[in-house]
Structure 1
């Protein structure tokens, strides 16, 4: 195996499948080492219970933090589309129709799972804004042809009216090689005219009042898209905005400055951009560290079997073995409590004065005579 390289690095060689060690389940891991076999299973079960409670609480907090972000995005999209409909009826607002509402969502490079965030965002948008939410990745859109293919194919799946979906999908399938914004705009106009707004979604409140709900396109990794593809799509879309209400969401891992680096002023001026910041990486990192610390605590501390709610802990105390009781007696906190209580009782009775020699004598009696 060659290890030559033009740059410094670390070379990893995977062992042969025959020599690979079989990983043990985590409950078997608890039974090894210095753990007492009498309570290892109970400690592992207690760890799982406590961790599930912590995980549920952490997920709830994460949802609350994400909810603030998603609510801001939803408000931006609703205002943008309401303004679009107002301008479409106002001759003086026709110039503004060339600006595509764009949300720059800065996720950061340390976010553990961007896909999970986008899935939650897609669900929130479909429930509150529009049924037409499309997510695209750069690897699937190397050129404009593939970009439109992915856009149209996902848009067909988003169609809520099943009958119109089947009819239109047949027509689109027959002309796969003729994808264009003109045909896409025609399809959208046909579908929205056939679809009853009240049937779009029972959950959706605001968008059910819109006869022509917007089309939201999420570019998950905006930095990875080819510059020419982005420029062409934005220019063409701005020309069809009055008949194809488009809203863009850019997923950005680095900095919003990347938008102006990829797009010249003539193109970026066609976007009405608003910045949104996702959760910091500290939240995700803390979750992982808390999990590892919790597992280490239950593995290394035999008395962690008592780390549960108070009624259950009182019940488990009745079943402690002699070894577990001895471990409790050896705890520094337990020794300190007995030492302080013994000194206080002797001083109260007047048997000793608080001198260092007599205090050490009481300590030897307390620790050694238990």
Structure 2
């Protein structure tokens, strides 16, 4: 049965070689019921909003790495250098062409590698000076390379199942075009872990064609740090034997530095590589592009309030710069907003989703409405009809759309100004200032510093700045036709007015131009520059936070409590766990005199002593720590357990054997030796519980060190250093 012809199919497994699809049937007996708390209108609004936002996210990420990966693609498509080297002269074989992609972390490299594979498997344009066929790419991960046999099997199978159209042979066979897809059972049996079979398959498919247009075979290793060095060495040695017969290119993703690969390889194997390094930043750059493309350059159905954006950035850093986790964060924020907020029905346009009956009452309780009663008089009026309130909501919707468009242009102007004056800051810092919590002061200082440079510009540099800014804005507005062009028109008019001012005579020694000399004032949106009232653009409103807007709670999600449930902070949770192990840490605990004291866990005792020993210092004395632990830790029972009974029975047996030997006339010296051994064993047994308590103490200290509370120090060997307070 063909899975493609089945009505119900779902991909259930994906490997580096293929995606296997198995058929299944829908369960007609079980009815699909929605949750009790889920409102049908709320779910419909959520699905509509998330589908629109997810479309923008995928459109932004689809071409994210296209520009940054151009060098890698050019490196793969460039023919190998025919120059001779010492290794080539001595071994008679060419070097293995290798590209080291530095910065590809395992948590966020999937998006990077998908973009790279998409570019490599895409044919060059027909009008190109050097048209080249698409490459065949085999993606490998460390889990596919547990040994050299599995590594070569995954490598060869990745080429067999590559998505590329291969024309039929020019023989008189009636065969359709073969479209490469998932590896079938026949091809799997044909491709064992032998490179000779890959060579035979490549010659069979492409040997009868023009050999100059044959595709390049690219091996892409995703995670080097978790790769076995022995398997990697064997793989490189195997590939280097076929460099002269197969067009091989080896790409390696490295999360740390280039030294990581050379630490796994011997010098003999490393000399077989013709390596070139390429640096990428998939995590932070993808996050910045995602945030700017979705929340700055366009207006999503639901944006993130400053507090929630700060929480998203913290989650991004805690989860190893994972873009997938960031997208899930946004989706959870959408879901929580539409299912928990009673006014969420106003988020979507009224024509698409009708508002709920309780929505107008929920609007009157919003902080932005209560703090600005003069602007929200219509909403606060209890006699206002739903139609009037709906019209007021639509007015606020248009105001937020205009503010978002002005902010995107102002943000581009701010970045252009920073680039011109070489006062660049990281993109994540600028996004945190504009979108995050508590960034208004830093943004205001940055704007003031840039505007002071503009005011102090010379007569030569100011026209260059205006031309650079106008060209940057023109290119930005051309790619975003929905944004207003008022600011670009304003800069263009200032540029035309500037020339007469420059041609006019000026006093000697005056090399700067002031903003008051320019008609209308040189004002950047949201940047406090220029005379008051000169232009509508100089209102300092474009880069203000969304919390200044009326009804911003409707279109900006601000509830971050749900994120804390999904991504809890580990340190407070660890403190709570250690406190639960120690009942005396609870102030309300009252021990019962009639009952024996509770037996506490050794880790809880060590943690209590850790907290009480030198609370104001970072060093803790191990001697004092052991003294406190020895007094509080419970003693091990000496009688009643199996070990104690066994020892008692053993002593009785030894005494009985001694008496038996004496009855049989045993040697007295042997009896004395046996008695000495028994005395020494009894002494060791007496010292056993003390030694075991010391071992328990060392175990508890090791557990605290493993949890990150302490670590050794060379300052005082008898002390440990506290690292968590």
Kept after mapping to 1: 8 A contact 2:96/2:239: no
Q: Which residue of 2 aligns with 1:28?
A: 35
Q: Which residue of 2 aligns with 1:37?
A: none
Kept after mapping to 2: 8 A contact 1:105/1:249: no
Q: Which residue of 1 aligns with 2:351?
A: 312
| Cα distance, 1:78 vs structure 2 | 1.4
Q: Deviations over 1:256-284 (max 9, x none)?
A: 43212211233223221322424212644
Q: Which residue of 1 aligns with 2:326?
A: 286
Alpha carbons of structure 1 residues 162 and 29: separation in structure 2 relative to 1, 3 Å? farther
Distance 2:191 2:55 in 1: 49
The CA RMSD over aligned residues, in Å, is: 4.0
Distance 2:245 2:158 in 1: 19
| Cα distance, 1:302 vs structure 2 | 0.5
Confirm whether residue 302 of structure 1 aligns to residue 352 of structure 2: no
Alpha carbons of structure 1 residues 335 and 274: separation in structure 2 relative to 1, 3 Å? closer
Q: Deviations over 1:298-323 (max 9, x none)?
A: 222211100023x638x846xx53x4
Q: Which residue of 1 aligns with 2:160?
A: 156
Confirm whether residue 329 of structure 1 aligns to residue 343 of structure 2: no
Q: Which residue of 1 aligns with 2:209?
A: 195
- Select the structure with the greater relative contact order (CA < 8 A; seq sep ≥ 6): 1
Distance 1:278 1:120 in 2: 13
Q: Deviations over 1:222-263 (max 9, x none)?
A: 333332222133234334322222111113345443212211
3-state SS, counterpart of residue 361 of structure 2:
helix
- Trace 1:92-103 onto structure 2 (pairs within 5 A): 97-103=94-100
Distance 1:153 1:110 in 2: 25
Q: Deviations over 1:187-216 (max 9, x none)?
A: 54454321357xxxxxxxxxxxx4343210
Kept after mapping to 1: 8 A contact 2:62/2:115: no
Kept after mapping to 2: 8 A contact 1:97/1:241: yes
Alpha carbons of structure 1 residues 190 and 282: separation in structure 2 relative to 1, 3 Å? closer
Q: Which residue of 2 aligns with 1:143?
A: 147
Kept after mapping to 2: 8 A contact 1:231/1:263: yes
Alpha carbons of structure 1 residues 324 and 215: separation in structure 2 relative to 1, 3 Å? closer
Q: Any stretches of 5+ residues in structure 2 without a counterpart?
A: 1-31, 124-132, 171-177, 284-320, 378-725
Kept after mapping to 1: 8 A contact 2:43/2:338: yes
Distance 2:217 2:77 in 1: 12
Alpha carbons of structure 1 residues 340 and 306: separation in structure 2 relative to 1, 3 Å? closer
- Trace 1:174-213 onto structure 2 (pairs within 5 A): 176=192, 179-180=194-195, 184-185=198-199, 187-189=201-203, 191-196=205-210, 210-213=212-215
Q: Any stretches of 5+ residues in structure 1 without a counterpart?
A: 1-24, 32-39, 198-209, 343-370
Distance 1:62 1:305 in 2: 29
Kept after mapping to 1: 8 A contact 2:369/2:376: no
Q: Deviations over 1:119-147 (max 9, x none)?
A: 55434322236342222333343433443
| Cα distance, 1:292 vs structure 2 | 2.1
Alpha carbons of structure 1 residues 92 and 123: separation in structure 2 relative to 1, 3 Å? same
3-state SS, counterpart of residue 98 of structure 2:
strand
Alpha carbons of structure 1 residues 58 and 170: separation in structure 2 relative to 1, 3 Å? closer
Alpha carbons of structure 1 residues 255 and 299: separation in structure 2 relative to 1, 3 Å? farther
Kept after mapping to 2: 8 A contact 1:109/1:254: no
Give TM-score scaled by structure 2 length: 0.34
Distance 1:307 1:171 in 2: 53
Distance 1:332 1:174 in 2: 69
| Cα distance, 1:148 vs structure 2 | 3.0
- Trace 1:37-116 onto structure 2 (pairs within 5 A): 40-79=39-78, 82=79, 84=80, 87=82, 97-104=94-101, 106-111=103-108, 114=110
Q: Which has the higher helix share?
A: 1
Q: Which residue of 2 aligns with 1:235?
A: 237
Q: Which residue of 2 aligns with 1:217?
A: 219
Alpha carbons of structure 1 residues 282 and 155: separation in structure 2 relative to 1, 3 Å? closer
3-state SS, counterpart of residue 273 of structure 1:
strand
Decide which structure has the larger Cα Rg and report it. Answer: 2
- Trace 1:332-347 onto structure 2 (pairs within 5 A): 332-339=367-374
3-state SS, counterpart of residue 250 of structure 2:
strand
Distance 1:66 1:99 in 2: 26
Distance 2:53 2:168 in 1: 42
- Trace 1:236-251 onto structure 2 (pairs within 5 A): 236-251=238-253
Alpha carbons of structure 1 residues 337 and 100: separation in structure 2 relative to 1, 3 Å? closer
3-state SS, counterpart of residue 67 of structure 2:
helix
| Cα distance, 1:91 vs structure 2 | 6.6
| Cα distance, 1:77 vs structure 2 | 1.0
Q: Which residue of 1 aligns with 2:228?
A: 226
Kept after mapping to 1: 8 A contact 2:120/2:134: yes
Kept after mapping to 1: 8 A contact 2:112/2:282: no
Kept after mapping to 2: 8 A contact 1:73/1:103: no
| Cα distance, 1:297 vs structure 2 | 1.9
